[in-house]
A and B are shown apart, each in its own frame.
Chain A
């Protein structure tokens, strides 16, 4: 005979008010945890997101926060019900009680109304996320501003080199002028690499024998960042990174000149 702390919902003749009490407690727990989770997301994520130096990266950071905040109530809903149930309805049989004498829980059957509500709510949430991603990134990836700065990125084990064809400069450090759109063309000399600049929201595969073109991005914030490889490519994969310096247009022009390039082959200011 079970000596559990309380009968399972739906079992026994006095489960009505007790059941409502359980549901009320779980809902309160869910609301509290959801508020804490959403607040923690909104406060903490900006502290750990990479610095955004372009509109694409900024939108990606915002997407991280929004998606996580929307997921929090869903996660807390599941966790609240699971852990409340595990604790509240745990069985404590008398020592030595044979397993076959332990009662089963009641058969649970959700009502059609509950099923429809669950499906509708989750579908709306999922489609909201899809729409956010589609429409938000559509503009970012189809933007085609005139006169972008073209940078050919060559990856090889284990260094990135950057060639500016219009300026006639090749460098192991990526210099970019702030406010000017940049088109990255990426390739590899040997194996697969992955070219990523988190601060600019640039991510593109480097495939040998092929030039991949990343969506055009515009650096908006002067500062130092880094590009790194995200495709495991051998012994020094973790060392395959390069400095990225976003500078003023004047400093960019000076850098081009100091490295033997020419600024009249392609405007360094638009």
Chain B
């Protein structure tokens, strides 16, 4: 039986279909990957000109009674999604329940970008704290393409490792926190990101790599030590 050839148009149609499938598949893939993954909804405490946050040495305070998938991870609570008004002065109160870790980069031990470049720790004004006395930082940075530049860095003093547990939250006990209050000003609407720059996470690039690791785990996961700040 002689072999018959398909019409030449058949190959062109097949090629076009494959190209379109790859193109739209890639578009959908990019769309699915957009964003930072898990981003919890903002709460009333993290919305408006007055923001209230807590930093905990574990995830039991706000990731469900079982502490979520990573109960041992440090975390900001109640949410890492913050929404604040534009062209406003924002007051942030952070209750810091965790102990200290030494910074890798001492730049983050000083206050930057707040009103007066100052923070109030338990009512006392400070512009910097010792690099080995930080529990965490709250650092806002501006993604590329956002018109209004915003950079805020606030070192959060750690509590003493010998401090007694004095507070019960969600059935778990924590020491009396350090209360850090600061203000910063917002400009035009935009979407910013914030994270902690104290190495309070888990090893990422290999344990003991020049001793410079612990930026993995909660430090690389939104909903824990990283989040978004939306200025609307």
State the A residues within 8 Å of B (CB).
93, 96-100, 154, 156-159, 161, 163, 170, 172-173, 188-191, 208-209, 226, 228, 234-236, 238-239, 241, 243
Contact = CB atoms under 8 A, between A and B. Distances in A.
A100 B3 CA distance: 8
A8 to B, nearest CB: 18
A259 to B, nearest CB: 10
Main SS at interface, chain B: loop
Given A100-B3, A226-B144, A238-B144, A156 B36 contact: no
Nearest to B139: A159
Nearest to B216: A234
A91 to B, nearest CB: 10
A96 B6 CA distance: 10
B220 A159 contact: no
Contacts of B107: 154, 161, 163, 170, 172
Given A99-B2, A191-B204, A235-B221, 10 more contacts: A96-B4, A98-B3, A156-B104, A170-B106, A172-B141, A172-B151, A189-B104, A209-B210, A236-B226, A238-B143
A217 to B, nearest CB: 22
Interface in B123-146: 139, 141, 143-144
A99 B3 contact: yes
B222 interface: yes
A-B CB proximity, top 4 nearest: A98-B2, A209-B210, A191-B205, A189-B104
Nearest to A190: B215
Given A191-B205, A241-B144, A236 B105 contact: no
B149 interface: yes
Contact of B193 (A172, A239, A243): A239
9 contacts: A156-B197, A156-B215, A158-B141, A159-B197, A190-B213, A190-B215, A209-B209, A239-B141, A239-B143
A228 to B, nearest CB: 7
A234 B3 contact: no
Contacts of B105: 154, 156, 161, 189
Nearest to A241: B144
Nearest to B149: A243
Given A156-B104, A190-B212, A209-B212, A234 B204 contact: yes
Given A208-B212, A209-B210, A234 B193 contact: no
Contacts of A99: 2-5
A189 B197 CA distance: 11
B74 to A, nearest CB: 16
Contacts of A239: 141, 143-144, 193
B133 to A, nearest CB: 18
A102 B151 CA distance: 72
A239 B210 CA distance: 25
Contacts of B3: 98-100
A14 to B, nearest CB: 27
Nearest to B222: A235
B82 interface: no
Contacts of B205: 190-191, 208
B95 interface: no
A170 B107 CA distance: 7
B187 to A, nearest CB: 14
B112 interface: yes
Nearest to A236: B193
Interface in B1-51: 2-5, 36-37
B83 interface: no
Contacts of A234: 204, 215, 220
A235 B226 CA distance: 10
A173 B113 CA distance: 12
Contacts of B221: 235
A84 B215 CA distance: 58
A207 to B, nearest CB: 10
